[in-house]
Structure 1
Amino acid sequence: MSSQSTVYDELGVPTVINCAGEQTRISGTLMRPEAADAMRRAANAYVHLGDLQSRAGELITEATGAEAGYVTNGAASALTLGTAACIADNDYEVMNTLPRTDDVPDEVVIPCAHRNEYEVAYRVAGARLVSAGMNDLGNGLESVEPWEVAAAITDSTAAVTYVDRPHNQLSLQSVIDVAHERDVPVIVDAAAELPPTENLRRYIDVGADLVAFSGGKAVRGPQTTGILAGRAELVQSVALQHLPSGTHEDLWDPPRSLIDPDSVPGMPRHGIGRPMKVGKEELVGLIRALELFLEEDESEVLREWNERASFLMKKLREIDGLVVSVCNEDEPDTVTVLHVGLESTEELDIETLIRRLRAENPRIFVGEQTLNQGVFRIVPKTLTTDEARHVVDRIRAHVIDFEG
């Protein structure tokens, strides 16, 4: 590995070798150098944020096929602002009272199996979450059926949300169909669903009203950016509740690609999105990163990731005491993920090994989502080749230390 010092060395903060994938708590992913350079150059001039959001929106609409696009302060902020748009639409009176939602539809229906720790993003906007269906207890039934989503929709429903994950049984199309039959918009949380690149268009193509992506994962833009794409009316509501106005009302001149001033009563007040502002540097960095993401040879990137996974699997299997398997062996179009466990836990248990790896400098973080199965995950997409070698060496050292 490189011995070159970093700014974190200067600050006395240990760096991390990331085997866990694009997780926010360990910095998501590494920004593209071109995006970082664009951010540095963006810092050297003033710009009207509305103009810059408009340009970013043009790129997002080209990439997604949506009517409009917007850059948010992370994917979670995209969900919050999208929810606020579904609740308030273009009603300034409602916008000015959020997250209080007196006498307006404020329920967001979510399939029970899709509930997760990120749902706070909807509640921040004032939404009340309503579960549809129940969890599968292993009886062979789908965890949630479309009719259960339909049954949860009432006159108090502002939106239905769908969290896209590879293991979903409930199809997005069925959710969109039942929601649109009742004139209710659908928000898709696709924060981590890139690659494949085709997912940028897939959700809009099947009729989703709003889709949220992370800008700081596979796109490799600034970690604090998100992408929101969808219907123009809803994106306009997002812009009205997010873009700062701060001018004399007679001089208010919003970006026409995002806001039609003739459709609203005048200049909006600061909305619920004010604490979620996106700076010019982040906007420029996201624009550049998205441009490069769209230009990438996706198959070549996947090949590189999977070659690294093959190297890791071969070397780890050479270590006595380890059990290494591929968790997605039947999915050739996805990056290979390894599960690593121990043959015997008499001397060394998996939690102790994880703690010891994290205590090193640089700290080594592996994925702990599967810890209850007695294994940890290694995701090669966030590793360099040199880091992969270092990880193998350090795991070997700890296993041998206990066996010796």
Structure 2
Amino acid sequence: AIEYAQAIENCGVKVVYVDTAKELEKAITKNTAMYYFVNFLNYEGEIQWQEVLDICQKNGVPTMIDCAADVPPVENLFRFQQMGFDMVCFSGGKGLRGPQSAGILMGKKKYIDAARLNAPPFGDTIGRGMKVNKEEIVGMLAAVEDFLSRDHEADWNLWEGQINLVQNAVKDFEGMTTEIKVPELANVVPTLHLNWDTSKIKISGDQLKEAMRNGHPSIEIAGGGKNTVSITTWMLKPGQERVVASRLNEILTQKIT
């Protein structure tokens, strides 16, 4: 199951889950409306991009891929249309840094035209409950134009410098292990993973998240659990990474035995 299934079912369709190419072939009937693919799960599934496209195109089934968090890199904005997906959607926030309640749908004209029938000025459709106003639409357009014109290499260098600064603030604590990784899909940015020995640094991952959240300023970090957290800097303004590094260092210093 996927957490977005309810939103799809609100349109009046039945969601049929498939795990393999064989299951997909068997599940397609004259009533199949669309294949919905969650991009960040591609490498976790038994059936991946090209096999999905081959089967669906052979059977005349439209394909939609949810790439919510898959820019950057900027090339991904067009990659999946070129791959052959009929519809591609991205979140308006996240890497595009547009209105959080908006987004973009790209793809073949006939499907975009069909989707527009559920948007303003049509008020008696399923889209009414997810209404995006004209200010957000213009804001989304401005965000895409800004994103395409950015110096993406400079952005990447900035994020690397920021994440290195945060890492340097905590890596020398006894019992601390740090690693910077870049995910293959979804939020493809330098990500700092912290893992520590709780016998030497007496705080859990959940407690560290709570301490960061309740401090001044309030800072949100990912992960949690027994002894891990994850941190990204790509949503920070230049200079804010110093505040993050300082708060982490301060909290962890207090917890060293």
TM-score (norm 1): 0.58
Tell me how far apart the structure 2 counterparts of residues 161 and 168 of structure 1 sit (CA, whole Å).
Answer: 16
What is the match of residue 290 of structure 1? 144
Tell me how far apart the structure 1 counterparts of residues 41 and 158 of structure 2 sit (CA, whole Å).
Answer: 22
RMSD: 2.3
2:165–2:245 Cα contact (<8 Å) kept: no
Number of equivalences: 252
Tell me how far apart the structure 2 counterparts of residues 168 and 240 of structure 1 sit (CA, whole Å).
Answer: 34
Matched, 1:146 2:31: no
Please list every run of 5 or more consecutive structure 1 residues that lacks an aligned counterpart in the other structure.
Answer: 1-114, 134-144, 246-268
What is the match of residue 271 of structure 1? 125
State the Cα deviation string for residues 262-310 of structure 1 (Å, max 9, x = none). Answer: xxxxxxx721112222212111111111111111122221111111112
What is the match of residue 153 of structure 2? 299
2:206–2:226 Cα contact (<8 Å) kept: no
1:341–1:376 Cα contact (<8 Å) kept: yes
Higher-Rg structure is 1
State the one-letter code of the partner of 1:120. Answer: Q
SS of equivalent to 2:254: helix
Matched, 1:213 2:66: no
> CA shift at 1:323, angstroms?
2.0
1:321–1:399 Cα contact (<8 Å) kept: no
What is the match of residue 250 of structure 1? none
Q: Closer, same or farther in 2 for the Cα pair 1:345/1:127, shift >3 Å?
A: farther
2:209–2:222 Cα contact (<8 Å) kept: no
State the one-letter code of the partner of 1:228. Answer: L
Matched, 1:374 2:204: no
Tell me how far apart the structure 2 counterparts of residues 272 and 184 of structure 1 sit (CA, whole Å).
Answer: 22
State the Cα deviation string for residues 347-382 of structure 1 (Å, max 9, x = none). Answer: 3222222211111132121112xx357311001212
State the one-letter code of the partner of 2:3. Answer: E
1:327–1:336 Cα contact (<8 Å) kept: yes
Tell me how far apart the structure 1 counterparts of residues 145 and 91 of structure 2 sit (CA, whole Å).
Answer: 15
State the one-letter code of the partner of 1:361. Answer: H
State which of 388, 391, 402 in structure 1 corresponds to 2:241.
388
Matched, 1:157 2:29: no
State the one-letter code of the partner of 1:375. Answer: T
1:188–1:208 Cα contact (<8 Å) kept: yes
State the one-letter code of the partner of 1:354. Answer: K
SS of equivalent to 1:300: helix
1:242–1:270 Cα contact (<8 Å) kept: no
Sequence identity percentage = 29
1:1-400 alignment to 2 at 5 Å? 115-133=1-19, 145-165=20-40, 168=43, 170-245=47-122, 270-328=124-182, 334-345=188-199, 347-368=202-223, 371-372=224-225, 374-400=227-253
Runs of 4+ in 1 over 6 A off after TM superposition: none
SS of equivalent to 1:161: strand
SS of equivalent to 1:218: helix
Tell me how far apart the structure 2 counterparts of residues 383 and 316 of structure 1 sit (CA, whole Å).
Answer: 19
State the one-letter code of the partner of 1:162. Answer: F
Q: Closer, same or farther in 2 for the Cα pair 1:339/1:362, shift >3 Å?
A: same
State the one-letter code of the partner of 2:27. Answer: A
What is the match of residue 256 of structure 2? 403
State the Cα deviation string for residues 69-121 of structure 1 (Å, max 9, x = none). Answer: xxxxxxxxxxxxxxxxxxxxxxxxxxxxxxxxxxxxxxxxxxxxxx4312222
**Greater relative contact order (Cα < 8 A, sep 6+):** 1
State the Cα deviation string for residues 212-246 of structure 1 (Å, max 9, x = none). Answer: 1111121111111110112222222212222225x
State the one-letter code of the partner of 1:386. Answer: G
1:342–1:350 Cα contact (<8 Å) kept: no
Tell me how far apart the structure 2 counterparts of residues 123 and 306 of structure 1 sit (CA, whole Å).
Answer: 41
Q: Closer, same or farther in 2 for the Cα pair 1:196/1:182, shift >3 Å?
A: same
**More displaced stretch, 319-328 vs 152-161:** 319-328
State the one-letter code of the partner of 1:121. Answer: A
> CA shift at 1:383, angstroms?
2.3
